[in-house]
């Protein structure tokens, strides 16, 4: 590979199936989530037939979070994981709901405040690649269905590693690659044909959900993401395939 090719690779990123400049991807992804924020929860229930709640419950069960812990719910969006963690950590703990997108953060803040969760939850607009938190601060970091939208995933993983305490754990819940071949064909048909139509009907935005389908396809598979986590410094990295690998939960520790 020539130096010129390396530079081109460093300066570009995938936006779905497109290759775009890194600085453009940030604004393009932001526009997608500005568009879908108000209907995000409804679409999650429709798209997954409610199964996303089971995936998130499994992530929480694997988190090891206890009373008094400090938790970062990164790309936390509308706050589903934050709500659960807030109850677990109690008044001696803290949950940071962080998202790069202010529209998603506003929806999450309004929803959690309506639920009365104001004492131990704070809200931070933050880029996963350069987290504005001290070293060795969090007992647990979760990122649910957000890593595939990050421009530089390796940089983000290193940033998460830096802010975790020794003994802390990272949990990445994300769409992945189905491990059953017949399921893969059905899943592709759903992603690329049905999902944009549902987005058009419910959210009046088929294009954003077409991007989300493409971003799922372009996201690293289970083994690749495991290798990326280990490269960032995480140890005892393990993943769990959920719903036949449609979703995977990756867990790694900082020692």
- Which residues fall in the annotated binding site for S-adenosyl-L-methionine? 78, 99, 127-128
Q: For residue 2, count other CB atoms closer than 10 A to its CB.
A: 7
State the SS3 of 151-212: CCHHHHHHHHHHHEEEEEEEEEEEECCCCCHHHHHHHHHHHHHHHHHHHHHHCCCHHHHHHH
Taking the CA atoms of 215, 220, 222 and 227 in sequence, report the sign of the dihedral they define.
Answer: negative
Helix axes 40-48, 22-36, angle to 10 degrees: 90
Residues facing residue 19 across a β-bridge: 14
CA–CA dist 71, 67 (Å, integer): 11
Rounded to whole angstroms, the maximal C-alpha distance in the chain is 56
Q: For residue 227, count other CB atoms closer than 10 A to its CB.
A: 12
- Point out the annotated binding site: 78, 99, 127-128
Distances in Å between the Cα of 41 and the Cα atoms of 36, 106, 113, 171 are: 9, 13, 16, 21
């Amino acid at each position: 590979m020539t130096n010129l090719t390396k530079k081109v690779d460093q300066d570009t990123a995938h936006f779905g199936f497109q290759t775009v400049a890194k600085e453009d991807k940030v604004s393009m992804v932001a526009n997608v989530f500005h568009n879908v924020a108000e209907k995000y929860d409804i679409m999650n229930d429709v798209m997954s037939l409610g199964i996303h709640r089971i995936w998130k419950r499994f992530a929480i069960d694997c988190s090891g979070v206890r009373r008094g812990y400090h938790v970062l719910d990164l790309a936390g969006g509308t706050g589903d994981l934050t709500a659960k963690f807030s109850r677990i950590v109690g008044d001696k703990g803290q949950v940071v709901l962080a998202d790069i997108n202010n529209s998603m953060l506003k929806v999450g803040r309004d929803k959690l405040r309506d639920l009365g969760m104001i004492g131990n939850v704070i809200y931070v607009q933050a880029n996963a690649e350069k987290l504005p938190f001290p070293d060795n601060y969090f007992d647990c970091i979760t990122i649910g269905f957000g890593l595939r939208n990050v421009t530089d995933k390796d940089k983000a993983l290193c940033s998460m590693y830096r802010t975790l305490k020794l003994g802390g754990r990272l949990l990445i819940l994300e769409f992945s690659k189905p491990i059953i071949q017949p399921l893969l064909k059905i899943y592709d048909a759903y992603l690329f044909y049905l999902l944009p139509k549902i987005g058009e009907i419910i959210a009046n935005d088929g294009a954003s959900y077409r991007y989300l389908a493409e971003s799922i396809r372009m996201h690293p598979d289970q083994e690749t993401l495991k290798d990326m986590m280990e490269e960032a410094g995480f140890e005892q990295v393990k993943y769990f395939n959920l719903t036949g690998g449609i979703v995977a939960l990756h867990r790694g520790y900082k020692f």
